[in-house]
Amino acid sequence: MSTKEIAGTSVEVDGEGFLADHTVWNLDIARAIAMEEGIDPLTDRHVEVLDFMRKEFETNGTAPSIRKMNKLNVVPTKELYALFPGGPAKKAAKIAGLGKPQGCI
Catalytic residues: 104
Nearest-angstrom CA–CA distance, 87 and 104: 9
Q: Which amino acid is at 52?
A: F
User: How many helices and strands in the chain, by DSSP H and E?
Assistant: 5, 2
Closest CA to 80 of 48, 103, 58, 57: 48
Alpha carbon 105 to its chain centroid, in Å, reads 16
